[in-house]
Structure 1
Amino acid sequence: MKILLLSAYDADSHRYWHQNLIEQFPEHDWTLLTLPARYFSWRIRGNSLSWAFGPERSTLEQPYDLLIATSMTDLSALKGMVPNLANTPTMVYFHENQFAYPATEKAHKTVEPQILNIYTAASADRILFNTAYNRDTFLHGASALLKKLPDQVPAELVTRLKNRSEVLPVPLENRLFTSPEQSQLKHTDWQDDDQRALRIVWAARWEYDKGPGHLLAILQQFETQDIDYRLCLLGQKFRHSPNEFNLITEQFKHRLVQFGYAESRDEYLQWLRGADIFLSTAIHEFQGLSVSEAVTCGCLPLLPAREVYPVLFDETYLYSCSDDINQEAKGACEKLTEYSSPLTAPAQPDSSHLSWKNQRENYRQIFTELADQTLKN
C-alpha cells in the first residue's frame, strides 16, 4: 500500500507518533512530508499553500492508496489545490483540537484555527482522536461554534463528523515494556541522593499551558510541609519560557538534580526509571504521553483532576483542583503524603494496553478498511 503522511505542524508528540507508525508497518510504501512546528498562525493556514505550490507538489501528485494527515493540515484547501488527492481515502489524526486550549491574554482571539479543524475533519473519511476527551471536546466545541453562525449552517454536520470518529491512542514504544538491565534502572544522579528522599520527575514543554505557576506553588507547599524530595525537571525550553522556571532554580536549587532537556532519549528514560513519582501540573493536556511513559517506566502518577486525566486514571492518582492555586497545591501535597506511606500508597497503574503490541491491529484494520474503499471506487 502506498501511503502519504502529512504532518503540517511537526511537534515532538506528532513526530513520536508518525515515526513509530511508519516503523510498525514496514510492509507499506510510506511518503512523509512535514513542516516545522513554528509560526503557528501561518503554519496552520499556510501549509496547503506551502505544499501545493512548493517543491513538494510533484510528490503530492503521485498516486496513493491512503492519505494520513494530522489535524493541523489544511486538508480541504490542499485537496482543492491538488485535485488527485480529492478522491484518495483519507484518515485525519487529532493529537489535539483547537476548541479545548486554555484561554490566555496573549493568544489571538480568532476562531480561524477552530474552523480549520472542522474543515479538515469534514474532508476526511475517518477521524481518529488520541483520547475520548479530545474527541468529545472537539465535537462539543464544533457544535457550540456552529450554533453561533448566522445562517446556512448544515444541520447534521456534527453528527456526520461524530459517525466518522473513533478513539485510537498514540501507542508507546514496545521497548518501554521490556525490563532494562538492573544497572540501568537508576540514573547515577538519583543514586547520589539520600535514599529516603522522594524522587519526583516533572517533564513537559516549558510553556504556560503546562502549569509552571502551579508547579511553583506545589514546590513551595512541599517546603512548608517539610517533605524530603529531589526534583528532576525535564522538558523543552523556549526563548521566552515562563519566569516561574527561573524562580524554581533560585528557590529550590537544593532540591534539583536535573534542570532542562535530557541529552538523549535513553537518558530521559533513565530519569523516569529512577524516579518514584511523576508530577503533572498541566492546564492543557489531550493524552499526556509523558505521563503514560513514566507510568510504564515505574513511576506513580500524581496528576491534577482536570483535562484528560480523569478519563485515563482512577481518582486514586488525582489531586483536587481549585481556582485558588495555593489550595490546589495543598491538595497535591496531601496526595503526595499518601504516596509516601507504604500503608496508603496506591498500586502501580497498568499501561500495557497502550503498547504498539496491543494497538497495532487496530491501526492495521483501519488501513485495510480504507484501502478496500479505494478498490470499491
Structure 2
Amino acid sequence: MSILLIEAFYGGSHKQLIDLLQRNVEDCVAYTLPAKKWHWRARTAAIYFMQAVPVSGSYRVLFTSSVLNLAELAALRPDLATLKKILYFHENQLVYPVRKNQERDFQYGYNQVLSCLVADVVVFNSAFNMESFLTTIGTFMKLIPDYRPKDLEKIIRPKCQVLYFPINFPDVKRFFTDDKHSYFSEKTVVEEARNPERCLSENEDSTLVKRLTKNSDSDQEPGSCKKISATCQEVPLNPPGTPQELNRKEESESTVPYHEEDKEQPTFDPCGKTGGMVEKCDGLTNQQRPLRIVWPHRWEHDKDPEAFFKTLLKLKEKGLNFQVSVLGETFSDVPDIFTEARKDLDVCVSHWGYISSKEEYFKALCEADVVVSTAKHEFFGVAMLEAVHCGCYPLCPNALVYPEIFAAEYLYSTPEQLFKRLQNFCKRPDLVRKHHAKVDTDQFSWAALCREFRSLLAAEAREDL
C-alpha cells in the first residue's frame, strides 16, 4: 500500500471521502478514529496514530484531514515526515462561530496552521474555505500576547489549492414522485451532454460513456469545470409564473399573494389533514399538496436550527400549508430547540431524526420540494447538493460558501427574506415542483473530480528530507 489515509474524525463528509478514495484509488490503506468527541480527536489523535500506524517502507503519500495535528504526527513518526503529506480541509477553525471565545479555542486553529506549515500540499474543499482561512491567519495570530510569528500566510499560500469535495451521487429516479420525473429526464439529458467522457465509479456502466463519447464534441475537455459552468449560464430563464417571479414579488413590502386567483383556492388547515408523506396526498392536485420542506443538516448550533424553526412557526401561524422533514446526524449534545420545535410543529412533521440508511435518506430527499440551509458555518455543503440532485429547490444564506455554488436566485440575505420565499412557495407549491434548479451538481461528482484526486495522490515520496 503506497497511499496512507489517516482520518481522526471518521464520520459525515470525512468518512465519505475516505471511503470513496479507498474504493476508487488503488494502493490505499486507511487508519481512522470514530467521529466522536471532536475536540479530543483534535488534541490527541496524533499520538494514537503514532502507535496505530505500522512502520512500512511502501508508503509514498500521506493524506489526512485538518482535524489531525500533522506537525505532531510528523515529529512523532519521522518515517512519515518524509512522505508527500497532503492536508485536506473540510472546514477551518479560524472562522468557526464559537459561542464563547475561550483561550482553549485558540489551540484548534493553531493546530491547523502548524499542520499547513508541515504539509507539502494543502487542499481546500472550496475557495471560500481557503480564502477565509488564509486571510484570517494574521488576525488570528494577534491573539498571541507577544513574540508573534510573521508572514505565515505568505509561507502557506503557495502550497494551497481548491479541489471540491467529490460526491458519489446515486441514481435516485426510482424514488421520484410523479412531479419530479420530468425534472430527472431533463437533468439526465443536460448532464450527459456536458460530461460525455467520465471516470467510472464501481457502479457505472462503461457502455454509456462510450455511447456519449461517440456523439460528443471532440473539442470539449472531459470533466472541465469551467466549460460546465459556461454551459450552465446558457440555460434559458424560466417562463413567467415560475419561482423566480414569486421571488421577485417578495422584494416589495406587500404581503398580498402573488396570484389573485389564490384567494379562490381551497383553504387548508396548516399542516392538517392533507399533510404527511406523499402517499397520503392521493387524489389531490399538484397545487393542493402541501409544500414539502427538508432540513438535512447536523443538529448543532452552527447550523442555526433556531432560525429555521422560527421561520416554520411563522408559516404555521399564518395558516400556510406545509410539511417538514428534519434529517441530519445527531451527536451527544443536541440543542434544546429540537425538542421544543418537534412539539410545536407536530402535525407538520413528515420525518424527524437521522436516517442511517442512505437509500431511505435519498428517498426522503426525493419526496421534498424545497431544501433550506440556515447555517452560520458552511464550507461546502454536501447535504444541500445531494438534495438538489434529488430535485429540491435550494434556499441558502447569501454568505459563506453558498454564493460560490448557487446562483443569486437561490440565496436570501435575512430571515425575513427566507420567510417570504417560503410563504410564496407555500401558496404556489406547484410552481416550485416544476422548477429545474440551475445548479450543475455534476461538476461536484466523483466522476468529474476523480482524475484530479488520482493525480494528487500519485506523487512520489520526497527525497530531500
**Same fold, judged at TM 0.5 (above):** yes
Q: Tell me which amino acid in the other structure corresponds to 2:22.
A: I
Amino acid corresponding to residue 334 of structure 1 in structure 2:
K
Matched residues in 2 for 1:106 and 1:98: separation?
A: 12
What is the Cα deviation at residue 339 of structure 1?
A: 4.2
> How does 1:278-293 map onto structure 2 within 5 Å?
278-293=371-386
**Matched residue count:** 359
Verify the 8 A CA contact 1:61 1:82 in the aligned structure 2. Answer: no
Secondary structure at the counterpart of residue 347 of structure 2 = coil
- 1:190 is aligned, of 259, 272, 278, to 278
Higher Cα Rg, which structure: 2
The gaps in structure 1 that reach 5 residues or longer are: 322-327
Could you give the per-residue CA deviations for residues 249-305 of structure 1, whole angstroms, max 9, x where no partner exists?
Answer: 211111001110114110000011111110111111111110011011111101122
Q: Identify which of 40, 45, 55 aligns with 1:42.
A: 40
CA displacement at 1:338 relative to structure 2: 4.7
* Counterpart AA for 2:331: F
2:369 is matched with which residue? 276
Q: CA deviation at 1:41?
A: 2.9
- The 3-state SS of whatever aligns with 1:16 is helix
- Do structure 1's residue 78 and structure 2's residue 73 form an aligned pair? yes
Letter of the aligned partner of 2:164 in structure 1?
P
Whether 2:420 is the aligned partner of 1:334: answer: yes
Q: 1:179 to 1:50 in 2, by over 3 A?
A: closer
Partner of 1:214: 307
Report if aligned partners of 1:186, 1:274 keep a CA contact under 8 Å in 2.
yes
| Higher RCO (Cα < 8 Å, 6 or more apart) | 2
Q: Deviations over 1:9-47 (max 9, x none)?
A: 22311001111122221xx21110111222333221211
In the alignment, is residue 304 of structure 1 matched against residue 397 of structure 2? yes
- Where structure 2 has 5 or more consecutive residues not aligned to the other structure, the ranges are 179-275
Query: 1:70-112 CA distances to partner (integer Å, 9 max, x unpaired)?
Result: 1011111111111111110111000011111113039765311
Name the SS for the 2:46 alignment partner. helix
- Provide the TM-score with structure 2 as the length reference: 0.72
Q: Separation in 2 of the partners of 1:363 and 1:287?
A: 17
Verify the 8 A CA contact 1:61 1:85 in the aligned structure 2: no
Q: Distance in 1 between matches of 2:315 and 2:361?
A: 24
Q: Distance in 2 between matches of 1:65 and 1:309?
A: 36
Tell me the residue number matched to 2:258. none
**CA positional deviation for 1:150:** 5.6
| Greater mean deviation of Cα atoms: 154-163 or 112-121 | 154-163
Matched, 1:21 2:17: no
Root mean square deviation, CA, Å: 2.4
TM-score by length of 1: 0.88
Percent of residue pairs bearing the same amino acid type: 29
Q: Contact (CA 8 Å) 1:63, 1:84: kept in 2 or not?
A: no
Q: Following the alignment from structure 1 to structure 2, what is the Cα–Cα distance between the partners of residues 226 and 220?
A: 10
In the alignment, the residues of structure 2 paired with residue 360 and residue 231 of structure 1 have an alpha-carbon distance, to the nearest angstrom, of 35
Are 1:3 and 2:26 matched, yes or no? no
Q: After TM superposition, list the pairs within 5 Å mapping 1:169-180 onto structure 2.
A: 169-175=164-170, 178=171, 180=173
Query: Structure 1 residues 107, 11: closer, same or farther in 2, change over 3 A?
Result: farther
